[in-house]
A and B are shown apart, each in its own frame.
Chain A
Amino acid sequence: MRNAFADELTKLGDDDERVVMLSGDIGNRLFDKFKDKHPTRFFNCGVAEANMTGLAAGLAMNGLRPVTYTITPFVTTRCLEQIRTDVCYHDVPVTVVAVGAGLAYAGLGPTHHACEDIAFLRALPNLVVISPGDAWEVRAALRAVMKQEHPAYIRMGKKGEPKIHQGPIENFQIGKAITIAEGRDVCLLSHGNMLPEAVEAGKLLEAKGKSARVVSFHTAKPLDEACIAEALNKFKLVVTLEEHSLIGGFGSAVAEWTVDNGCDTRKLMRIGTPDKFFKESGEQEHARERLGLTAHQIADRVIAKLS
């Protein structure tokens, strides 16, 4: 996803002189092309995320379109007050882009995990929160948020994730979920980098005689209310999937909506990370396995619930 981001940002920078790239001293070589083409609009802000974010707000107040970028916890929680007060309170078009959603950097340990960011950021007024499901969604989401006049948060995985879409997404809309596969028995609402697991879980369910609708529900805020309403109406079971805590994340957002709108909460099942720091070494696949987030484990839980 991160290569798609750097590439798409370079193109956006070609077309729009207001685009300014701010990096928190990461992404060695990643922005070489951007730097090459727009040397006066790239700044390595160093290991100083609070300044980077306040700086972005100031740039946006002057009509520029800054993008801040570093590893998820450092570009979100490390500078949370700058995002809240400088960016969101002023309602200026800063785009915060994070690399390493959830347990993408599991091996680096809990300092580098990010299973709480959606909870923090979803509560901030004026902020759009998007977790793209693959590289094509990264490109489309970036284009979409850079067009609006408000702050946005884009939560990416890392690099090399499988591509789910076949090519550019022409009709991408902020707050409009994308159906990847149709089905009848269960609806899987996948948020962000869980999408490949969701698609795989759908296939496993199919093999076991259960047909699953798989949705890439990329925007946690604003919610695609019509999609949730229709799913709760049509399916016996609606499952939210995310690599984020069950406290305050995407599943929480869907549960809030379900309660607030008097829908049947018994149809809802939420899958996410537990209220614990994941302290074992090992990469993302290992962490997912341990926390019950793999396609097999998801499919098994769905089967158990349906029977």
Chain B
Amino acid sequence: MNQISPISRKANTPDVAFLRKQAAELRGEVIGMSHKTGSAHLASCLSCIDILTAAYWHALNIDPAKPTDDGRDRFILSKGHAAMAIYATLAHRGYFPRDLLETYTKDGGKLAEHPPANMLPGIEAATGSLGHGLPIANGHALSAKVKDKGANYRVFALMSDGECNEGSVWEAAMFASAQKLANLCVIVDYNKWQATARSNETLQLSPLREKWESFGWDAYEIDGHDIGAVATALADVPNGSSKPVAFIANTVKGKGVSFMEDDNNWHYRAPTAEEVVKARQELGLS
């Protein structure tokens, strides 16, 4: 099979203006999808769009024309309820035609409200039940050692803070550090909300960075909406130590639309036509 040639990551400085524009377009796309279909989890999508953009348009070593190439970087959206965000990302990045987004939630289509197994190019794993992405990512990362000693691909798992409630996450975290999976990177979309309450009022996540660190990871806090910083951080994995890397990305649920930001009603709500117009204006979209 054709190998993707490894990009020289550190030499690349992110084109921040381009990434911001791309992120705004993706935000417009998911807002439209939610409006047209009445789909929930819009705020969960807006929270992680900057991270997805930084990954797919800068940090990841991928070729949309070769979605199963052995040498590709793997990206797993472990917070599967942000399905609209990954669908929009993959379509805009060229994994499948943008027209397919029109079929989201439609009878008999391929785009259900959580990412499917074995059906769409670029979807590495079916997610939607929280707490599954990181163990699967462990499997991808460990395969690079077991199968092919020279493999230098990296594995990224994007998780939500509520997801860190699950015990399976911490089982996986301890496995990864024990096995020195330095090619593995977790990004936690730390927007301080889960489905029905504030994250730290539900289970005590705080201090989250220190938790990951004490589980044997190189753990850093970053601003999850500083798209240039996220792009550089992800591109620089592995960081030279033998540890897996965790980025605790401070984010705002509903980011990018003033009347959605940090308002958890938008975990469930879909925008009206007028709200779509207002949101697009704020995003600088026509």
Contact = CB atoms under 8 A, between A and B. Distances in A.
Interface of A: 23, 25-28, 44-48, 50-51, 73-74, 78, 107-112, 277, 279-283, 286, 290
Interface in B104-162: 104-117, 119, 126-131, 162
Given A28-B267, A47-B162, A286-B107, A281 B195 contact: no
Contacts of B131: 47
Given A27-B196, A78-B129, A111-B80, A48 B113 contact: no
Given A23-B196, A280-B107, A109 B113 contact: yes
B163 interface: yes
Contact of B165 (A46, A110, A279, A286): A46
Count chain B CB atoms within 10 A of each CB in A51, A74, A281 and give the residue with the most.
A281
B202 interface: yes
A47 B127 contact: no
B207 interface: no
Interface of B: 80, 103-117, 119, 126-131, 162-163, 165-167, 194-197, 202-203, 267-268
A110 B105 contact: no
A118 B196 CA distance: 28
B112 A44 contact: no
> Interface on chain B toward A: helix, strand, loop, or mixed SS?
loop
B166 A47 contact: yes
Nearest to A280: B108
A290 to B, nearest CB: 8
Nearest to A27: B196
A108 B115 CA distance: 9
Contacts of A73: 129
Contacts of A50: 167
Count chain A CB atoms within 10 A of each CB in B107, B109, B166 and give the residue with the most.
B107
30 contacts: A25-B194, A25-B195, A25-B196, A26-B195, A28-B195, A28-B196, A44-B197, A46-B165, A47-B131, A47-B165, A50-B167, A51-B167, A73-B129, A107-B112, A108-B113, A108-B128, A109-B126, A109-B128, A110-B116, A111-B114, A111-B129, A112-B114, A112-B129, A279-B116, A280-B110, A281-B103, A281-B105, A281-B107, A281-B112, A286-B108
Contacts of A108: 112-114, 128
Contacts of B202: 25, 44-46
Contacts of B117: 110, 277, 279
Contacts of B104: 281
A26 to B, nearest CB: 6
Nearest to A290: B108
Nearest to A23: B196
Contacts of A25: 162, 165, 194-197, 202
A78 B163 CA distance: 14
Nearest to B129: A111
Contacts of B197: 25, 44
Given A26-B196, A28-B195, A286-B107, A46 B203 contact: yes
A80 to B, nearest CB: 13
B30 to A, nearest CB: 16
Contacts of B268: 28
Contacts of B166: 47-48
A281 B129 contact: no
Contact of B110 (A26, A51, A74, A281): A281
Contact of B105 (A23, A112, A282, A290): A282
Count chain B CB atoms within 10 A of each CB in A25, A73, A112 and give the residue with the most.
A25
Given A28-B267, A279-B112, A111 B128 contact: yes
Nearest to B164: A47
Contacts of A109: 112-116, 126, 128
B105 A107 contact: yes
Count chain A CB atoms within 10 A of each CB in B103, B108, B127 and give the residue with the most.
B108
Nearest to B264: A28
B45 to A, nearest CB: 15
Given A28-B195, A46-B165, A47-B162, A111 B108 contact: no
B131 to A, nearest CB: 7
Nearest to A70: B195
Contacts of A78: 129
A44 to B, nearest CB: 5
A28 B194 CA distance: 11
A48 B165 contact: yes
A271 to B, nearest CB: 21
Contact of A281 (B80, B111, B128, B203): B111
A193 B44 CA distance: 30
A111 to B, nearest CB: 3
A286 B109 CA distance: 11
Nearest to A25: B195
The 10 closest A-B pairs by CB, nearest first: A111-B128, A109-B112, A282-B107, A46-B165, A281-B109, A281-B112, A47-B165, A109-B114, A286-B107, A48-B165
B160 to A, nearest CB: 9
Given A47-B163, A48-B165, A280-B112, 9 more contacts: A25-B165, A25-B202, A26-B196, A28-B196, A28-B267, A45-B203, A108-B114, A111-B127, A280-B108
